Structure 1
């Protein structure tokens, strides 16, 4: 069977391992986010913007999502686009609004056809300004449709970007029906199979430990500034709405994807061979495919401390 375009020209192990090192110095980043979907995207976007000593934000892409908060992937994307603009106002970053782009209105129909959108087009073009030695870092915290579409539109960007994606569950979990990857398995198969330098932050089994409680939200964030009030109040509402017990914590998953790029001992990772996401929501392991970097532990207290300091300063 002839290989798909994105399966061709995968870098050798030495090249990939070199490109999967944590970056030193200040770097350029873009964020791909389904911001209206859950409370954690708002925290992650704010954390990214507040980490401007390390991260130079070049663009923000609205990702599609479809659940009880949207009537379609398009509706989810458009609600996320509006939420991004709301957060940028609270962050006092009106200058970034011109660099916010609407993303895919549907998921990939197959593994060879991109979903064209302003976000995918921007990434496909913007990444060409970078090099393998000085890549653009793509922080992805939603369905990976926009990023996979950009790669299908311009496979050359694989050599010029590094993708840090919160997607899929831990590899030892038999059920991989995690929301981000389950929405668009075709896009996930492209990201795990195309040889783009990939840092995976698995949800259940790893990042599921990064939680915050109502007492912590009230103590650390409420009353500190307008942004913190917005984040804390929404998190408390959502936490209460979805709580299964009187004492609850809520996972703020997406913060970890931003944190991997920062200077700090916030998590532990290792190199593994890229697994294959299956359409039945399982992992197919491999001992021959190219390497990805795999996060397997979060230092919760250290990361929460840094997050609170930056949001409240």
Structure 2
């Protein structure tokens, strides 16, 4: 895909860590892993920093789904359930995404989510870009860019995908199941904050004991997250779990908790059926997370949800 005509200066300026309250949409495969539920809750519980305008269901395919479309449908219903816990109605807020991954680099997949993203991006301005946080397969975002490349000038994409740039491979779930869309976004020139999984977001580990201690009885969403964590595994003895997706939301809520640097957009290459990063210093810049502050991010999540409970108790 031809890189947008956006200048490097403008792209770098757009990629500065956000300040103040920002507009965002969240693209999520919510039924795939329990980390998506935590990320959706974190976004909805942070109104002082985030104006969440829409939630999009992303496709996924693994043991929990019979097809990418089935994964998207299950994710849609999971999003609706979480919104109910926040007292949010889904109409005009939750949208079904693509029912398949991009079949090739030139073919977008149309959906309600893609149409809504294009419309919201078109309505944005240089002074108030739309942050598009993607924590699953990135077909919805790539399809919107393919259908309307001019939105590149109106959005900033924050994507949890791939592994750290020094990692031996980039065979991460979001990237490898949706490689055409992944390449489209990396090649497009859209302002992109990449949050790698292994080596970066993989430090966001917690346990059932910690989750219960700080979220149990903290309102419907606190109890739901505790129950979801407990049900993800039969035996929690000496068990901890990575809540990857919090990292992408955290960069908007508390940018200092996700240190990052500007790098040239990596290239996805393949050999022996393994995807790896390759590098070309002539490519455009993106921003890439280099670490996460585990304690600060979890602490912020717990405080936001507990503050919601305290606020609702006072009404």
Pairwise same-fold verdict (TM > 0.5): yes
Q: Within 2, Cα distance between the matches of 1:239 and 1:139?
A: 28
Aligned residue among 241, 264, 270 for 1:273:
264
Q: Within 2, Cα distance between the matches of 1:287 and 1:27?
A: 31
* Cα deviation 1:166-213 (Å, max 9, x = unaligned): 111111111211000111101000111100000011000110000111
Give the equivalent residue in structure 1 for 2:313: none
Q: Within 1, Cα distance between the matches of 2:248 and 2:198?
A: 14
Residue 261 of structure 2: SS of its match in structure 1?
A: strand
Aligned residue among 158, 169, 178 for 1:175:
169
* Cα deviation 1:197-239 (Å, max 9, x = unaligned): 0001100011000011121012111222221111111112214
Q: When the two structures are superposed, what TM-score results if normalisation uses the length of structure 1?
A: 0.94
Give the equivalent residue in structure 2 for 1:139: 133
Question: What are the within-5 Å matches in structure 2 for residues 254-265 of structure 1?
Answer: 254-263=245-254, 265=256
Q: When the two structures are superposed, what TM-score results if normalisation uses the length of structure 2?
A: 0.93
Question: What are the within-5 Å matches in structure 2 for residues 104-183 of structure 1?
Answer: 104-183=98-177
RMSD: 1.4
Q: Within 2, Cα distance between the matches of 1:240 and 1:171?
A: 34
Give the equivalent residue in structure 2 for 1:44: 39
Q: Within 2, Cα distance between the matches of 1:226 and 1:59?
A: 21
Cα contact 1:74–1:104 (8 A) shared by 2: yes
- Identify unmatched segments of 5+ residues in structure 1: none
- Cα–Cα, structure 1 residues 137 and 206, in superposed 2: closer, same or farther, change >3 Å? same
Q: Within 2, Cα distance between the matches of 1:209 and 1:240?
A: 23
Residue 290 of structure 2: SS of its match in structure 1?
A: strand
Cα contact 1:239–1:249 (8 A) shared by 2: no
Q: Within 2, Cα distance between the matches of 1:277 and 1:134?
A: 31
Give the equivalent residue in structure 2 for 1:206: 200
Q: CA deviation at 1:240?
A: 4.1
- Asked if residue 250 in structure 1 is aligned to residue 241 in structure 2, the reply is yes
Give the equivalent residue in structure 2 for 1:226: 220
Q: Within 1, Cα distance between the matches of 2:297 and 2:3?
A: 38
Cα contact 2:4–2:152 (8 A) shared by 1: no
Question: What are the within-5 Å matches in structure 2 for residues 24-43 of structure 1?
Answer: 24-43=19-38
Give the equivalent residue in structure 1 for 2:83: 88
Residue 286 of structure 1: SS of its match in structure 2?
A: coil
Q: Within 2, Cα distance between the matches of 1:202 and 1:285?
A: 16
Give the equivalent residue in structure 1 for 2:13: 18
Give the ranges of 4+ consecutive aligned residues of structure 1 lying more than 2 Å apart after TM superposition.
8-12
* Cα deviation 1:14-40 (Å, max 9, x = unaligned): 111101012222221101000010001
Cα contact 1:217–1:236 (8 A) shared by 2: no
Cα contact 2:27–2:56 (8 A) shared by 1: yes
Q: Within 2, Cα distance between the matches of 1:144 and 1:278?
A: 18
- Cα–Cα, structure 1 residues 264 and 104, in superposed 2: closer, same or farther, change >3 Å? closer
Q: Within 2, Cα distance between the matches of 1:173 and 1:51?
A: 32
Residue 265 of structure 1: SS of its match in structure 2?
A: helix
Cα contact 1:148–1:187 (8 A) shared by 2: yes
Q: Within 2, Cα distance between the matches of 1:167 and 1:307?
A: 22
Aligned residue among 291, 299, 309 for 2:293:
299
Cα contact 1:166–1:200 (8 A) shared by 2: yes
